[in-house]
Structure 1
Amino acid sequence: MLEQLENVNSYGSLFVTDNRHPCILVSMDGVIAEANFLFCKKFSLGQNDNFLSLLKRDGLRSWNDFKQECTETKEIILDDLALISEGNVECLCKTNIFYSNQTQQALVTFVLPSICTELPIADYLGYFTHASRLTMIVNREGHIIDVNNRISELFNLTRNAVIGKRAQSLYRKFNTQKRNAEAQYEAYIKTLHTIGEVTIKERFEDEPNTIQFFEIHAVYNSDSDLYIVEIQDCTEIEMLRRKLDHSGSLSTVGQMAASIAHEIRNPMTTLKGFVQLMEVTATGDTAKYLSVVDDELKRMEAILNEMLMLSKPSEEKISEFSLGVLITKVLEIMKPKAMFESIHIDWQDASFCNSMIYSNADKIKQVLLNVFKNAFEAMEPGGVLTLKLEKAEGTSFTLSVTDTGKGMTPLQIKNIFMPFFTSKPEGTGLGLPFVLKTMEDLGGAVAVSSVAGKGTTFTLVFPQHYLESCVIIDQSSAN
């Protein structure tokens, strides 16, 4: 214990966890550095107040005697320290004092007589009812005997609908792996009895497209033979963590791309040169085989270029241009492919002059080409590509790209932005990760919705201003 007192962080740890008694962290002059809830409630004092004002004459004498003896780290117990509690009532209490010579502070815990420490039952009920987390009390048999009002906020259930039910039935709603739910529940209960408390994180899926994550903290009280269970919604934190993990995977792909480019490009350039020389004099089957080799080398180069797009940081070539005009020019590039595959493009935009934005036109052009190319490849001849550009709320534009292709399953939707994930035989799985990375780099966003057998809609959000502090280097429209 004395070794812990040498570090002020240890004080804080002891201080926070001891909520059974009034407790303060003070200097030797009596100035309060920290005070727990029970001390503040009982004595109406807090941080920066002087606790010596509570002491009677005998109590002051005991404190001064202790102060003079403090030449090194030590702990003492004062059995009858005279002080004044709330209501100007004098009482004697046992006081535990831990002094650190390094910080020259003391942790003082007041063990008050029971008549002074009992709180009205209404205070406990009020805390339980209005606690920030969903809190349940469960008996040894696993039945919920009480729950606070947070149950309606998290699960849209009433207290009456839950009280009396088994906690195990509520747990099943968290665990989407139905086959393992029973075994996992038993394992948690066993751990709870062994170490007294356990914290787990579970996934809750009320509907196929509504996923939440909850942190469940349970404590077993052997004296009362009851479980106290707290549940907190941590969906936002979990989603942010997953987004960071995804960003990390894109960064890893970028590093791989740079390494692969260095290792492959030199021998590939040599191969292309020899193939071109041989094609000049080749005839018959040899010419046919060399043509195949040349096509495959071009495919390798295309894959390499897609990977390099992920590895290169977005260049801040910011210019002012019409997003509507840029979309039209990209569609002109795609028009021959659309005619060859009998795909109709439905694009009517009458607001070219109203869709001016400050952004990187080259990067946005690459994004549009990737999205349009994916839409074309998802459709059969006779399909329809529908584009709609709208001014969104605030200072941004929304472009929806809808195809009449085969659509995607929920699993495909969840994974389409992961590097190397593809459902196409000749796909690389790098186009959509590039789209996501580029849009995020430009301050925009990407969303996708799909119905299997009916089609898919990609929604791209373009901010009107990329960076307020950026320098406009080109005032011309996008090429």
Structure 2
Amino acid sequence: MKERRLQDDLAQLKRDEELQELEKKVQKNADLYRDLFLEALDGIIFWNNEEGIIEANESACRIFESSEQQLKNKKLEDFVCLSQKKYSKVLNELKQKGSVRDSLVFLMPNGQKKILEFTTKLHSVDGHHMTILRNVTDSYKMEQELRKREAKFRSIFECSIEGIILWNNQFEIVDVNPAVEELLNETKHALIGQSILSILARNKMTREHIKEQIQLHKYTEQSSGILSLTLRNGENLDVEYSTRRNVFSKLNLTTFRDITAKLKMEEQLRKSDTLSVIGQLAAGIAHEIRNPLTALKGFIQLLEDMIKEDHSMYFSVIKSELNRIDSIINEFLILAKPKVVQYIDSDIVNIMKDTIELLKPQAVLHNVQFKFEVEDEIPTIVCEPNQLKKVFINLIKNAIEVMPNGGFITINLRLLEGKEILISIQDEGEGIPPEKLQMLGEPFYTTKEKGTGLGLMVSYQIIDEHNGQIEIESVQGKGTTFLIRLPTRKDDRQNEGIHKHPNDYR
């Protein structure tokens, strides 16, 4: 019996010890939760519908800039700016789900407004509701500022006149602005994700140039230069570019703009400057040479009549060379001597026919035949007939001289959309290499052994004065075609005599 009682006492003692240990654990957990509640960086508030706020930690007091005593018995909704449309939505979600996470604007007791992000759970602890709050006013303002800046930079990106490409270190295009779409004649959707190198390659950039760009990207933070591209529609572009590596988020930025027109204008100005110098030089040369040349011609004629021995071959060579000098001086004078040009209504078909008849004897000597085609009914144009005839003579003579073994010169006239007359003069010579082709029309540049280069330059100037254009197409081994475009419409300049001089085109 005593043994039984002793066992019961020991069991009770053990239970008491376990209970004490459990109470210690509970107290320890309570202390832990109390510490978490008090020291939490987020504001924590316990509340119920009847009494309002029951308890608030220090962080909550800092957020509301009030003491716990001042917050007690107040209702959270008293601090909410009720004018917010989303407030009713938040309440409905809380009632339906028993919890909600959102953000609202709260009005602090001191009148300050704060944006608080919160999580609320109903009947969380001992039947009380719990709300955890965090002040996100500053981060919200920062986010809004970032969005404004992003919108601002996006606007600049989209509206920039210069093309802008964003691409990663694998050369993949991440974004392009509308200027790029317009310049490359491709959509953003088609460009994004493609390699910028493949874009350059399909726009006919050479492999060597692409390799050069890759090396620049590897070893320099910033690079710039000029690229020459040929688009898929055949259009040639010169673009000036600038690239910066790692502008942000491991992305690279390239800006570029079309400078094709700028380079053409600079080239025209350079030619204009050259023409100006030539004009001044020509006036002096022509004056100094023409007088003694006239004397030489006269004395040669006298000697030929006086000398009885047969030296006709020598006299023929001398007179031929003197005539060539005289012809060069005349070309100089066209460049140097200001003169009034009278434009009249003329039949360009007849001007071309007269030119062909004039050059037929020379063509026969070189075993060259003419094919003359008029495709449409060609209207008359306002022009200076003798100047246009000079252009036609220069180009057709050149065509005859590049075919020493004979062949055909095809001359074609047609009307383009009623606005332009297109005149093509095509030979069957050896053609002109690309590097020489772009030099044609330069002062003193010629592909002929005894040429001066002035004839083609004068032809360019005359066509320019008629508001026209000269283009050259050439395929080596097949021949060269000169294309002359002349407008059919009249303008004020062509209706009256005008004082022409190379300096007028500066």
TM-score by length of 1: 0.62
Judging changes above 3 Å, is the alpha-carbon distance between structure 1 residues 459 and 279 closer, same or farther for their aligned structure 2 residues? same
1:235 aligns to 2:264 (yes or no): no
Matches within 5 A, 1:269-280: 269-280=294-305
**Secondary structure of the corresponding residue to residue 320 of structure 1:** strand
1:371 aligns to 2:400 (yes or no): no
Which is worse superposed, 447-456 or 174-183?
174-183
Judging changes above 3 Å, is the alpha-carbon distance between structure 1 residues 222 and 388 closer, same or farther for their aligned structure 2 residues? closer
Report the AA paired with residue 231 of structure 1.
F
Which of the numbers 159, 164, 170 marks the counterpart of 1:135? 164
* Aligned partners of 2:166 and 2:175 also within 8 Å: yes
**Secondary structure of the corresponding residue to residue 449 of structure 2:** coil
Report the AA paired with residue 456 of structure 1.
T
Please tell me whether Structure 1 or Structure 2 has the larger radius of gyration of its CA atoms. Answer: 2
CA distance in 2, matches of 1:208, 1:307: 41
Judging changes above 3 Å, is the alpha-carbon distance between structure 1 residues 189 and 256 closer, same or farther for their aligned structure 2 residues? farther
Please list every run of 5 or more consecutive structure 1 residues that lacks an aligned counterpart in the other structure. Answer: 1-88, 91-112, 474-479
1:464 alignment counterpart: 488
**Secondary structure of the corresponding residue to residue 147 of structure 2:** coil
**Secondary structure of the corresponding residue to residue 238 of structure 1:** helix
2:479 alignment counterpart: 455
**CA positional deviation for 1:363:** 0.8
* Aligned partners of 1:324 and 1:355 also within 8 Å: no
Matches within 5 A, 1:339-418: 339-347=364-372, 349=374, 355-418=379-442
Aligned residue pair count = 357
**CA positional deviation for 1:429:** 1.4
CA distance in 2, matches of 1:472, 1:125: 54
**CA positional deviation for 1:376:** 1.5
* Aligned partners of 1:400 and 1:459 also within 8 Å: yes
**CA positional deviation for 1:179:** 5.5
2:350 alignment counterpart: 325
CA distance in 1, matches of 2:373, 2:199: 52
1:217 alignment counterpart: 242
1:292 alignment counterpart: 317
**CA positional deviation for 1:292:** 3.0
Please list every run of 5 or more consecutive structure 2 residues that lacks an aligned counterpart in the other structure. Answer: 1-111, 114-140, 498-506
2:275 alignment counterpart: 250
Percent identity, aligned pairs only, is: 28
2:468 alignment counterpart: 444
**CA positional deviation for 1:334:** 1.3
Report the AA paired with residue 262 of structure 1.
H
Judging changes above 3 Å, is the alpha-carbon distance between structure 1 residues 347 and 136 closer, same or farther for their aligned structure 2 residues? closer
Which is worse superposed, 234-243 or 430-439?
234-243
**Secondary structure of the corresponding residue to residue 241 of structure 2:** strand
**CA positional deviation for 1:132:** 4.2
Judging changes above 3 Å, is the alpha-carbon distance between structure 1 residues 308 and 116 closer, same or farther for their aligned structure 2 residues? same
Matches within 5 A, 1:170-249: 192=221, 199-205=224-230, 210-219=235-244, 227-249=252-274
Report the AA paired with residue 214 of structure 1.
V
TM-score by length of 2: 0.59
Which of the numbers 129, 142, 147 marks the counterpart of 2:175? 147
* Aligned partners of 1:134 and 1:147 also within 8 Å: no
CA distance in 2, matches of 1:469, 1:428: 30
- CA RMSD in angstroms, aligned pairs only: 4.0
Judging changes above 3 Å, is the alpha-carbon distance between structure 1 residues 173 and 192 closer, same or farther for their aligned structure 2 residues? farther
Deviations 1:391-448 (A, max 9, x none): 3324442222222333223233322222222222122212111111100011122222
**Secondary structure of the corresponding residue to residue 355 of structure 2:** helix
CA distance in 2, matches of 1:342, 1:133: 56
Which of the numbers 298, 302, 311 marks the counterpart of 2:336? 311
2:107 alignment counterpart: none
1:336 alignment counterpart: 361
Judging changes above 3 Å, is the alpha-carbon distance between structure 1 residues 138 and 425 closer, same or farther for their aligned structure 2 residues? same
Which of the numbers 405, 422, 425 marks the counterpart of 2:449? 425
2:458 alignment counterpart: 434
2:501 alignment counterpart: none
Judging changes above 3 Å, is the alpha-carbon distance between structure 1 residues 238 and 288 closer, same or farther for their aligned structure 2 residues? closer
Deviations 1:104-134 (A, max 9, x none): xxxxxxxxx8577433556655654565433
